[in-house]
Chains A and B, each alone.
Chain A
Amino acid sequence: MTGGTALIQLRGVGLEVLAPAPTRILHPLDLDVAAGTSVTITGPSGAGKTTLASIIGALQPPSEGTYQFAGSEMMGRSKRDLAAFRSQHLGFVFQHSHLIEERSSIANVALGITDPTMSRMDRDQRCQHVLDLVGLASLANRRAADLSGGERHRVAIARALAKSPSVLIADEPTAALDQPTGQAILDLLAQVTARGATLIVVTHDVRAAEMADQVVSIVDGRRA
């Protein structure tokens, strides 16, 4: 794979924080991810996996290096620009589903649609469609609080997919789940992104690594 065709291209990207004390969290690293492929980031706890994923996800800027997304430079963009970028391109799935307990599955999924100009009908249709993708079509109107752990994660995935992101970033999506449920979630992620989205999964689940096109192993803030 060459830099020219990569959707995501990191060059010498690292992170050093100054407060409370100067700490190097991520040593400069290079990474290329081609569009439509899947990457698994693995490594021990505290290695810097989440940090790398958050930089790729434009949740925080690196302190050094360059980051190009689809050929355009991400460095030096304003917070507002980065928010717009995330809104347009990125879907996130976190370790915890972060659902709004009092609202229905479908209302939670609707939160994932950030385009305020989408008509209500299109929005409802789209939400129903992604709920269907994650196999929860029948639970659209159930309150999030009444869903099981696995179902909650499915809703979170549907929420991330609602805007048809070009990149889906999942940070330890299975860590809070039992083994079979976790496996089902990983299968689901692989399946829903098989349609063209780029998938970046942070996990120490070895099976996830087997399924990925590329495995990035991080140890002590360095690419191993």
Chain B
Amino acid sequence: MMWRWSFWVLAADAAASLLRRPWHAVGMMSGIMLGVASASAAIVIADTQQGQIDLRFDLQRSDHVVVQAENVPRDGFSADQLRLVAGLEPVSSVGEFSNWSDGEPVTRSIASTIATVPVIVADRGGLEASGTEVIHGASADALGDPGRTAIAWVGRELADDLGVAPADGQALTDSQIVVRGHAYSVAGIVANDGGFGYVENSVILSRPVAVSTVGGTGQNVRVVAHVRPGSAAAVAGYAVRTLDPSGDLTLMDKTPADGEKLLKDVGGDLRRVGAALGGFVGLVGMIAIANTLMMSVHHRLRELGLRSAMGWSRRRIGLLVLTESGIAGLVAGVLGTAVGLACAAAWCWLHGWTLIMPAVLPCVVIGGGVAASLVGGLLPAWRAASISPLTAMRS
């Protein structure tokens, strides 16, 4: 308690000493600030870069392609163009698989069970390409049947929740669900063990049904293609050009990253380079702090000598100077991290990358800045502590 109080007195005193010569303080902090800024920027850029590399490698490994479009006409993608994509040698299936809506209220007409679930619009090719399987009821062929206007497929989990799933070994009975006020009979139940797990908790409609009942133009209108691994990037490029030769649909390659992390080592090396760079600049900053504090101590010989004459112990005088460097390091660390992250963010934005930052980074680099300042403050602190109490009397 007593120690704590005296620490705050010391800290206030140290802060006041720093503020006495703000430009000195700024000069003192700039080195550490640069060090912390370059370390944090370099590490963030290295991490982001690794994310980019992972993404590209995953593209090489991915077995499906997703392209997303805006401004798709109400009757959907052109069948001829889809056939062109389907005709590519590495493509085994292709079709629409759109997230029409993120959340629509679903209820069973005879029960009060209500859930809010995504509505997917798909055709046969899209279901197949996404790895979605019909486990009960009508096959996906019925999605193309223009005669059946009020049917829906329901994901496995949702079917359980709504109570429309058949008992073991039984066939699907004719049941009805209501999605946003429209009644549909459940044509089939689907499952997905691939990368589209949310299907299991969704309602799937054909495009004409969705357009006439749910309405709207769909949130994420997509074409999914199942491809031979390694060809995803090439197919995605071809699909974008084929499906949207005029650019009206603003098609974008959204092929998802495969979860597996490749090239960890390369990324690690990049981070190490960043840390080394920051460490080196931090070292220079440490010397700058030592230098400025040394000058400051020299400048304050009388003041520090006076403190000594008044009975401040050597330890307390040394701690005062160390606290000054610690505060300078902390401020420099916080500012440096902010500057570094801002630069990294700007860099990523320029390159269209998504910034990746390890959550502990700010703590680590700020801590590093404080540590470097404290080390830089050791010599000046020792020098201050050795000022003779006679100094004030003799000057």
Which residues of A come within 8 Å of B, CB atoms?
A: 50, 53-54, 57, 59-60, 79-80, 83-88, 90-92, 94, 96, 98, 100, 102-103, 107, 111-112, 114, 116-117, 171
Q: State in angstroms the CA–CA spacing of A114 and B390 once bound together.
A: 18
- One of B60-68, B102-110, B146-154, B299-307 contacting the partner: B299-307
Closest to A169 in B: B393
- Closest-CB distance, B386 to chain A (whole angstroms): 10
Q: State in angstroms the CA–CA spacing of A103 and B16 once bound together.
A: 8
CB pair B311 A54 closer than 8 Å? no
CB pair B309 A86 closer than 8 Å? yes
- One of B1-9, B38-46, B226-234 contacting the partner: B1-9
CB pair B9 A88 closer than 8 Å? no
Q: State in angstroms the CA–CA spacing of A84 and B393 once bound together.
A: 18
- Closest-CB distance, B267 to chain A (whole angstroms): 49
Closest to A116 in B: B6
- B246 on the A face (CB < 8 A): no
The CB with the most chain A CB atoms within 10 A, among B21, B311, B312, B390, is that of B311
CB pair B9 A116 closer than 8 Å? yes
CB pair A98 B390 closer than 8 Å? no
4 A-B pairs closest in CB distance:
A87-B311, A116-B6, A86-B311, A102-B20
User: Which residue of the partner chain, among B21, B311, B314, contacts A114 with CB atoms under 8 Å?
Assistant: B311
Contact indicator per residue, chain B 288-316, by CB within 8 Å of chain A (1) or not (0)? 00000000000000110011111111101
User: Which residue of the partner chain, among A84, A86, A103, A114, contacts B389 with CB atoms under 8 Å?
Assistant: A86
User: Which residue of the partner chain, among B19, B307, B388, B389, contacts A111 with CB atoms under 8 Å?
Assistant: B307
- Closest-CB distance, B2 to chain A (whole angstroms): 5
User: Which residue of the partner chain, among B2, B310, B388, contacts A86 with CB atoms under 8 Å?
Assistant: B310
Q: State in angstroms the CA–CA spacing of A87 and B5 once bound together.
A: 18
> With A60-B390, A92-B309, A92-B392 given, is the CB distance from A117 to B314 under 8 Å?
no
Closest to B309 in A: A92
Contact indicator per residue, chain B 362-378, by CB within 8 Å of chain A (1) or not (0)? 00000000000000000
Q: State in angstroms the CA–CA spacing of A98 and B51 once bound together.
A: 59
User: Which residue of the partner chain, among A50, A60, A114, contacts B310 with CB atoms under 8 Å?
Assistant: A114
CB pair B393 A80 closer than 8 Å? no
Q: State in angstroms the CA–CA spacing of A111 and B316 once bound together.
A: 13
By a CB distance below 8 angstroms, the chain A residues around B303 are 98, 100
CB pair A59 B393 closer than 8 Å? yes
> With A92-B392, A103-B20, A171-B393 given, is the CB distance from A83 to B313 under 8 Å?
yes
Q: State in angstroms the CA–CA spacing of A100 and B17 once bound together.
A: 9
> With A59-B389, A116-B5 given, is the CB distance from A96 to B314 under 8 Å?
no
By a CB distance below 8 angstroms, the chain A residues around B21 are 102
By a CB distance below 8 angstroms, the chain B residues around A112 are 310
CB pair A83 B2 closer than 8 Å? no
Contact indicator per residue, chain B 6-48, by CB within 8 Å of chain A (1) or not (0)? 1001100000100111000000000000000000000000000
> With A83-B312, A98-B302, A112-B310 given, is the CB distance from A54 to B393 under 8 Å?
yes
Closest to A50 in B: B393
By a CB distance below 8 angstroms, the chain B residues around A88 are 311
By a CB distance below 8 angstroms, the chain A residues around B388 are 59-60
The CB with the most chain A CB atoms within 10 A, among B6, B21, B308, B312, is that of B312
Closest to B20 in A: A102
- B351 on the A face (CB < 8 A): no
> With A83-B389, A96-B395 given, is the CB distance from A111 to B314 under 8 Å?
no
By a CB distance below 8 angstroms, the chain B residues around A59 are 309, 388-390, 393
By a CB distance below 8 angstroms, the chain A residues around B16 are 103, 107
Q: State in angstroms the CA–CA spacing of A50 and B393 once bound together.
A: 8
CB pair B309 A114 closer than 8 Å? no
CB pair A83 B314 closer than 8 Å? yes
Q: State in angstroms the CA–CA spacing of A160 and B302 once bound together.
A: 15
By a CB distance below 8 angstroms, the chain A residues around B308 are 83
CB pair A100 B311 closer than 8 Å? no
User: Which residue of the partner chain, among A79, A94, A107, contacts B393 with CB atoms under 8 Å?
Assistant: A94
Closest to B305 in A: A98
CB pair B310 A92 closer than 8 Å? yes
Q: State in angstroms the CA–CA spacing of A60 and B390 once bound together.
A: 7
CB pair A85 B393 closer than 8 Å? no
CB pair A94 B392 closer than 8 Å? yes
Q: State in angstroms the CA–CA spacing of A102 and B13 once bound together.
A: 13
By a CB distance below 8 angstroms, the chain B residues around A90 are 310-311
Q: State in angstroms the CA–CA spacing of A87 and B312 once bound together.
A: 7
Q: State in angstroms the CA–CA spacing of A38 and B147 once bound together.
A: 118
Q: State in angstroms the CA–CA spacing of A79 and B387 once bound together.
A: 12
By a CB distance below 8 angstroms, the chain A residues around B311 are 83-88, 90, 114
Q: A54-B393, A111-B306, A116-B316 are in contact. List 18 more A-B contacts (CB 8 A).
A: A50-B394, A53-B393, A59-B390, A60-B389, A80-B314, A84-B313, A88-B311, A91-B310, A92-B309, A92-B310, A98-B302, A98-B303, A100-B20, A102-B20, A103-B16, A107-B16, A111-B307, A114-B312
By a CB distance below 8 angstroms, the chain B residues around A57 are 309, 393
7 A-B residue pairings within 8 Å (CB atoms): A57-B393, A83-B389, A86-B311, A92-B392, A94-B393, A96-B302, A96-B395
